[in-house]
Structure 1
């Protein structure tokens, strides 16, 4: 039997390897019949995480790690919540051009909830990417980009990339010129919206539903995106039931969720424990919060 793999890429720093592993776990769980090849672009990885990644591999699941020299992006803009690793996604089309004609880029703060099989067959219609429209993101911000049509703005956390057209249109080179020419609030996402305007095939919202919109969750939602903070792998995140379901299925199930380090997060964790009726633990963390705040 000929194995035809569907290719999925991540661009992460060391701290997001584990979340990427949970995302991978959720994709595999909801696509048991698929042959999947995951490509992880990162500048470093802990030995523990490397071991866990190896545990995921099977004859139907391939994972390739690429160590990125982050200094190549040293002149690029960063933000506190948008580190240099956000640019690693830009490498996937060039690296994979000899392997496949399409790659799904996906952020590591996403869960897959249903089959992704349709993405293997979607017609790009001469577009460079497929993505989900999030024009409600921020009207004033979108206006500031001077797009031709302010009714369209995609979140770059889920992008199905048409590799031949990406390469032939020199998107990477144009991206480098643009990102180093002026400041952008949302960095690569803003630049990609400018460069790819009118070359995006817009998908149904089910392919990138923000967790803040969970009340509109459809039974056929494909990707749930935990934008913002706190992330669901943080112990003080208020509602992590859905995320924990996949976390516990992953090789990291024996690794404790990240505990709070600063006093603000300790207070939030104490409140969460109280709401979960874990009163003793709540009191313990509230005392840690008070001590931390006073020191």
Structure 2
């Protein structure tokens, strides 16, 4: 089974926990093939991934693929100057297989992906995801229903966990269709590549079980969808961000799968970390107010 990640240095701290939880809860991890799409990762960053897999005694295979998302997607909206997530649109170019499970690097995977996806029916769709509700309830609802013209009652999905039918994706030229959409709305996309995929699908996508993407904002209690779930730490701050120990309700769940050596390597105090803290200052304020009902 193919598992893909799109990663840069800032996402590495979360990646370690996502990978370890994936492997430790998989019945046959040696059957997994891990694909790391790397944006600007240093050789030392890649060495940390190799060391983590070796320490875990991982018997499966893995691949590193270097790519430059800003070169391809630089004309589109970025997330604080970061275009890495758009790499999801390129998976069919890099992975010559029939399907792949894409995972964000802010997850804890507490279900067995092999058992859950041993047989999956895409029902003629190029991707499968967990429904997040309807366009009328999204943050960008005015854009989707007004500017794009989508029905407010169509279903919407979070792209943090996607099962992609790579063969069908290539046949339908999904990447090219997303680029065509991007040309129309380049600087108006509320959620970057997630917006492109949702506009392309227009509510038509195969459904993954709800347990595959259980969104967990920092101030909310632990999701209670099933016995085994994929927890997705949506929004900011993340459990590993400054003060995450105090204000993120998922901190202990995240720490359960966090390797201390990995944590020590990727959390030294740097200017870039302080810049991230400053960029997220409003998120911290909202989180603290919500958590303590202020």
TM-superposed CA distance for 1:136, in Å, is 5.7
Partner of 2:198: 193
- The offset of 1:143, in angstroms, is 5.3
How far apart are 1:261 and its partner, in Å?
A: 2.8
> 1:241 corresponds to which residue?
252
CA distance, structure 2, for counterparts of residue 124 and residue 62 of structure 1:
26
Where 1:120 maps in the other structure, the secondary structure is: coil
SS in 2 for 1:124: coil
Once the two structures are superposed, what CA deviation does each residue of 1:248-280 show, in whole Å capped at 9, x if it has no partner? 3x75144374656378789x7xxx9xxxxxxxx
**Is the alpha carbon distance of 1:233 and 1:147 closer, same or farther for their aligned partners in structure 2, counting shifts above 3 Å?**
same
Instruction: Check conservation: 1:179, 1:188, Cα contact below 8 A.
Output: no
8 Å contact 1:115–1:222 — kept in the other structure? no
The secondary structure found in structure 1 opposite 2:49 is: helix
**Larger Rg: 1 or 2?**
1
Q: Which residue of the partner structure matches residue 100 of structure 2?
A: 103
The equivalent of 2:209 in structure 1 is 204
> Using the alignment, how far apart are the partners of 1:140 and 1:229 within structure 2?
15
Any idea what the Cα deviations from partners look like across 1:104-142, whole Å, max 9, x if unmatched? 111111110111122231111111111011126734633
Q: Does 1:154 align with 2:165?
A: no
Unaligned runs of 5+ in 2: 289-294
Residues 165, 32 of structure 1: alpha-carbon distance in 2 compared, 3 angstrom cutoff: same
Task: Determine which structure has greater relative contact order: mean sequence separation of CA pairs < 8 Å that are 6+ residues apart, divided by chain length.
Answer: 2
TM-score by length of 1: 0.78
Offset, 1:21: 2.4
Q: Distance in 1 between matches of 2:222 and 2:74?
A: 40
Aligned mates of 1:79, 1:148 — CA distance in 2? 26
Between the aligned partners of 2:274 and 2:68, the Cα distance in structure 1 is 29
Q: Where does structure 1 differ by over 6 angstroms across 4 or more consecutive aligned residues?
A: 262-266
Matches within 5 A, 1:221-236: 221-236=228-243
* d(CA) in 1 for partners of 2:67, 2:35: 12
Alignment CA distance shift 1:187-1:23 (3 Å): same
Separation (CA, whole Å) in 1 of partners of 2:194 and 2:94: 20
Gaps of 5+ in 1: 1-5, 273-295
Partner of 1:87: 86
Question: Which residue of 144, 164, 169 maps to 1:166?
Answer: 169
**Aligned equivalent of 2:291:** none
Alignment partners' CA distance in 2, 1:85 and 1:139: 22
Aligned to 1:26: 21
* Further displaced range: 223-232 or 251-260: 251-260
TM-score, normalised to structure 2, is 0.79
Query: Are the equivalent residues in 1 in contact too, given 2:214–2:225 (CA < 8 A)?
Result: no
> Does residue 255 of the first structure (1) align with residue 253 of the second (2)?
no
Which residue does 2:72 correspond to in 1? 72
